[in-house]
Amino acid sequence: MDSLSCDLLIVGAGSGGLSVAAGAAQMGADVILLEGHEMGGDCLNYGCVPSKALIAAAARAQAMRGAGTYGIAPVAPQVDYAVAKDHVQEVIAQIAPMDSVERFEGFGVRVIRDFGAFVSETEMEAGGYRISARRIVLATGSSPFVPPIDGLETVPYLTNETLWQLREQPAHLLIIGGGPIGMEMAQAHVRLGSKVTVIEGAKALGRDDPEAAALVIDRLRSEGVEIVEDAKVTAVREGITVEVEDGRSFTGSHLLVAVGRRANTERLNLDAAGIQTTRTGIKVDDRLRTSNRRVYAIGDVAGGMQFTHLAGYHAGLIVRSAVLGLPAKAKTDHIPRATYTQPELAQIGLTEAEAQQRHGDALEVARFDFHHNDRLIAERQTAGFIKAMVVKGKPVGVTIVGAQAGELVNLWSLVIANGLKMSAVSNMVSPYPTVGEINKRVAGAYFTPKLFENETVKKVVRLVQRWLP
């Protein structure tokens, strides 16, 4: 077996691993990158990119049904599901060169297309090589979690990894799991003409603000998605029948399992490197170091939030610490999340309930409803609201539900990441009419009672008016 050595060995060519590889190599580090599956990882091939492409196709179909409000004759769309999937693959193909072996070899990265396994604390084997590295970054991501449901192994089922190969349109898609993936795919498929039933063991979108989640759930139901909550699945039978704890059963043509994800650690032989794990992934400290101080874990495999943008953030910290030798600690209070249903649902920091529990009477909640935004009135997309949870003038969390929520939350990541106050948002000037005015207006809602409902302010103004020339 041949031997190789490098400054930095990266395992996994998803969002996090690719970002570390590109940054480190371009700064002069000797980098080896291992990937035994698809370049670009889950996000490009099975997650963010294909799902948003299918959602875009479904939105076009829905727009045709709802055109009557705008003076355009509505029509029933004629959907070719296979062609919609062609669109998905074309989108992946257009983005794929950015994640290709050739591009990263151009940066000076040595790419080995194989899975890696530890053989010591500083060495891994892959592709017929024994690789010694000064630092190792584990960026192996996560895979769909398939729960041990009685009978599931006897029926064909889909996950987010296999859904994209499906060419025949599901007549009736059953979805186990009412989280973001399940709800996004439910709405996309019902808009494309499938019958859809979502079966959720607790509450759909249960991690989110209940009032915001309710707007999304109500919209999906109004479009024809059957959402069954508090329905713990006990068995799956041939003919694709899902049985739940209370005795009900649901029969469909296809089954999508979307109940969560598990960290990809099984191939790594972590024991050989003295790396500890937790129930959710690899154990790391606030510098993303594992119990082996020469090894870092980033992104999904680190066992925390599972977002592509979090992996990218982690990558920046690794470049800072493992490449430049500078201090860098991970935090999560400025990491947003978004669910790309219509209406969209976005959250950063604490929800109202979480903020109330943590901050008590110090918490102030400012709210602005979308139906007061002139741009959204013009576009007839007024369902939604924004809530900012504020403590001592600084936002500690923001909930947004409605059109472009995933875009609107960007500003709040900037604000929270930099420790800015609500006055910074209030000082912003937005062009009129834009959806972005919503962020400024919620800041205005925060200051309104302090300025317009304050007797001291009114007394000062009356005094100033008496003395002004």
Of 181, 178, 147, 179, the residue nearest 161 (C-alpha): 181
Q: Is 142 annotated as a binding residue?
A: yes
Q: What is the pLDDT of residue 251?
A: 98
- For CA atoms 158, 164, 167, 170, the dihedral sign is positive
CA–CA separation, 312 and 296 (whole Å): 14
Q: What is the pLDDT of residue 265?
A: 97
Detail the DSSP E strand segments found in 245-330.
249-251, 254-257, 261-263, 295-297
Of 218, 160, 223, 217, the residue nearest 183 (C-alpha): 217
Q: Strand order of the sheet with strand 394-402?
A: 336-339, 344-349, 394-402, 385-391, 363-369
Q: What is the pLDDT of residues 300-346, one digit of tens each?
A: 999 999 999 999 999 999 999 999 999 999 999 999 999 999 999 99
Q: In the block, which residue shows the tokens 């729960």?
A: 147
Range 52-61 burial, b when 16+ CB lie within 10 A, else e: ebbbebbeeb
Q: What is the pLDDT of residue 448?
A: 86
Of 148, 151, 119, 152, the residue nearest 136 (C-alpha): 119
Q: Is 181 annotated as a binding residue?
A: yes
Q: Is 177 annotated as a binding residue?
A: yes
CA–CA separation, 86 and 92 (whole Å): 10
Backbone angles phi, psi at 388, to 5 degrees: -115, 125
What average pLDDT does this structure show over 243-271? 97
Q: Is 52 annotated as a binding residue?
A: yes
CA–CA separation, 230 and 212 (whole Å): 19
| Structure tokens that stand for 176 in this block | 């186990």
Dihedral, CA of residue 208, residue 212, residue 215 and residue 220, to nearest 10: -20
Domain boundaries, the chain: 2-39+100-144+262-323, 152-259, 336-452
Q: What is the pLDDT of residues 31-73, one digit of tens each?
A: 999 999 999 999 999 999 999 999 999 999 999 999 999 999 9
CA–CA separation, 189 and 196 (whole Å): 7
Q: What is the pLDDT of residues 118-134, one digit of tens each?
A: 999 999 999 999 999 99
Q: Is 304 annotated as a binding residue?
A: no
Q: Is 182 annotated as a binding residue?
A: yes
Q: Is 224 annotated as a binding residue?
A: no
Q: Residue 451 pLDDT more than 80? A: no
CA–CA separation, 415 and 209 (whole Å): 21
The second-level CATH assignment, the architecture, of 152-259 is 3-Layer(bba) Sandwich (3.50)
Amino acid identity of residue 433, one-letter, is P
Q: Is 300 annotated as a binding residue?
A: yes
Q: What is the pLDDT of residue 466?
A: 80
Q: Is 325 annotated as a binding residue?
A: no
Q: Residue 276 pLDDT more than 80? A: yes
What average pLDDT does this structure show over 180-195? 98
Backbone angles phi, psi at 60, to 5 degrees: -65, -40
Q: What is the pLDDT of residues 434-443, one digit of tens each?
A: 999 999 999 9
What average pLDDT does this structure show over 409-427? 97
| Residues 147, 177 contacting (CB under 8 angstroms) | no
| Structure tokens that stand for 67 in this block | 């055109």
Q: Is 140 annotated as a binding residue?
A: yes
Q: Is 318 annotated as a binding residue?
A: no
Q: What is the pLDDT of residue 318?
A: 97
Q: What is the pLDDT of residue 467?
A: 81
Q: What is the overall mean pLDDT for the chain?
A: 96
Q: Residue 16 pLDDT more than 90? A: yes
Q: Residue 224 pLDDT more than 80? A: yes
Q: What is the pLDDT of residue 452?
A: 67
Q: Is 341 annotated as a binding residue?
A: no
* Residue 468 burial (CB count, 10 A): 6
Task: Tell me if domain 2-39+100-144+262-323 and domain 336-452 are identical in fold.
Answer: no
Q: Residue 289 pLDDT more than 70? A: yes
Query: For the domain with range 2-39+100-144+262-323, which CATH number is right: 3.30.465.10, 3.40.50.620, 1.20.1260.10, 3.50.50.60?
Result: 3.50.50.60
pLDDT level of residue 446 (50, 70, 90 thresholds):
very high
CA 45 centroid distance within chain: 15
| Residues 370, 361 contacting (CB under 8 angstroms) | no
* Residue 79 burial (CB count, 10 A): 18
Coil, strand, or helix at residue 24?
helix
The second-level CATH assignment, the architecture, of 336-452 is 2-Layer Sandwich (3.30)
In percent, the amount of the chain with pLDDT more than 90 equals 95
Q: What is the pLDDT of residues 87-109, one digit of tens each?
A: 999 999 999 999 999 999 999 99
Q: What is the pLDDT of residue 252?
A: 98
Q: Is 349 annotated as a binding residue?
A: no
3-state SS record for 62-131 = HHHHCHHHHCCCCCCCCCCHHHHHHHHHHHHHHHHHHHCHHHHHHCCCEEECCCCEECCCCEEEECCEEE
